[in-house]
A and B are shown apart, each in its own frame.
Chain A
């Protein structure tokens, strides 16, 4: 018997009040087309909601999208809450309108990668594939 490989599970989330969902939806669809199991939270999620959903859905990785400038508050908070709940192994990445200066700060706060405007979908897909294997 050949075991059926478990699909990589990804949560795509929109933290905070930001309504720009074009990028999040495009990424969700690209990951789905690449064979992953994608859960999209919809808009206006508090970091607590995102962490709860990630644990409930047993995901390998979380993609956070923010274009409203609140990333420095919201992204690290998701990482902090995951660790607090004992789920620090879940990989967290971010995307959106992120000033260059903020990227090293986000990485220090545990955000594994930041995908800015113009990032090829292929690059995002391969990142999640690797993240899924590591899980």
Chain B
């Protein structure tokens, strides 16, 4: 009864304020625009009060480290340990990128993150015709175990955690990492890191697919099964909203599609016969951090709450580790402007702040020159320094969920959550995630949002500083980062030598056995590991799979 009385009082007070103080203020000075919207086009009210937040706080928020984890997955959050500063890096050859890794470590980064080049992402070796012109341009080329060894030489792989942005060929690249560690005498039980391995969002957004969805999902579940037994500290997937957002989605679409994908992986794991408590604790997530601070914060908090509830109540997970949504964040590449690029440092700072206030476990901050190129050394260092300032100077890491309880934030969190559930229903109506991919549902939703956003910029309904307002006519000099021809030649030569000197019989046998495993329902991981040990290249292993699984043709739409 007391609550209801309190509500009534609040309603009356608000009404009185609207009719007096507010009305006078609006008469004296009308607001700047009719409607205020978030980056995603969501309307924002003038004022939020406790009346906008429904339900009981203990059910919606809980305490940090406790169900439903809205306020964070650890009781002490950054007071215990700061987020991992993990800079996505890769270009040229394994040697080039190894030098960049060491540079970043020397400047204080605390985790590694590998960007692979396009041929590697699509399962081609550097010297294949499909790879023409693409060597090392937007990531490092890793065609063989030899490249993987060089990439991590002089780096303590037993001590550092390594994230690898690789999807369709994820199990092969992971196998190379595992065999590399094996060769250095580091037991797999000590390895920590993540393979992105999120194929569903590839069909929806990032588009680095090789095979059709079903065999691809089987490869993903193979890694869940293998990882839970042999590499227990490894995150076998990073379920990624990042690329969905970059492709044009709104915050709510990013949230909804990512979690729908997450639940689809859980279903596939359970269908394989795995126990949810055995593999779900190793599922991790990856979100974007865009410009709209509160909308982004609400997105992370809603994600934790939805995941905890679905894992506990829908999938019956008993282990609290399976309820906790752990995530990496990257600032929004798509928000970076080529015009007045230095101001991207400011954008990235705001976005990184959202990630930290939102309770991220690790963070990559983009460099200001990325609307032009893969970042040069200095730009990458400034991006890392941005995180260090947030961690050590801003004070935001001193307390848990500092903005929790803000009426606006809590209302926005509820709204995003509700919108995600509306999308879950639509996806179910379409028959689930994979049928919806086949129908082009996600792809069309994302393209529509991207187009709407661009139109808003065109019509100046949305201001992008330096692009459609506050424009200056100046050419900014950016120190170029070029991939050297020498790196390319050395890589091609290394591959030639590898193919010429390996044990041909052993190599052939390993690929034959893998072929048979792909045709059957045997777990492919042990056979991929053997193929890697027999010095099969990435392209050769993918060719075996391409033969068995066939290609994927995406629905054409725009």
**Chain A interface residues (CB < 8 Å from chain B):** 12, 16-22, 24-26, 28-30, 38, 40, 42-44, 67-70, 72-74, 97-101, 116-118, 120-122
Contacts and interface: CB of A to CB of B under 8 A. Distances in A.
B138 A69 contact: yes
A50 to B, nearest CB: 14
B507 interface: no
Given A17-B131, A26-B248, 9 more contacts: A12-B558, A17-B121, A26-B451, A44-B122, A68-B138, A70-B118, A100-B475, A116-B371, A118-B371
A8 to B, nearest CB: 17
B464 interface: yes
Contacts of A12: 558
Q: Give the one of A22, A29, A44, A121 with max B CB within 10 A.
A: A22
Nearest to B135: A70
Instruction: Say what secondary structure dominates the interface of chain A.
Output: loop
Nearest to A32: B558
Interface string B205-231: 011100000000000000000000000
A1 to B, nearest CB: 35
A16 B134 contact: yes
Main secondary structure of the interface of B (DSSP, over half): loop
Contacts of A67: 138
Contacts, number: 105
Interface string B226-251: 00000000000000000000111000
A42 B131 CA distance: 18
A22 B337 contact: no
Which of the four size classes fits the interface of chain B? 35 or more
B247 A118 contact: no
A97 B373 contact: yes
Contact of B374 (A69, A100, A116): A69
B338 A116 contact: yes
A117 B248 contact: no
A36 to B, nearest CB: 13
B207 A68 contact: no
B450 A16 contact: no
B338 A72 contact: no
Contact of B207 (A19, A28, A99, A116): A19
Greatest chain B CB density within 10 A among A28, A70, A98 is at A70
A69 B134 contact: yes
B554 to A, nearest CB: 7
The residue in A42, A118, A120 that gathers the most chain B C-beta atoms within 10 A of its C-beta is A118
Contacts of B121: 17, 19
B504 interface: no
A117 B337 contact: yes
Given A68-B137, A73-B133, A17 B247 contact: no
A24 B557 CA distance: 11
13 contacts: A17-B122, A19-B207, A21-B207, A22-B246, A26-B450, A26-B454, A29-B451, A42-B554, A43-B207, A68-B138, A69-B483, A70-B134, A117-B337
Contact of B130 (A17, A72, A73, A120): A17
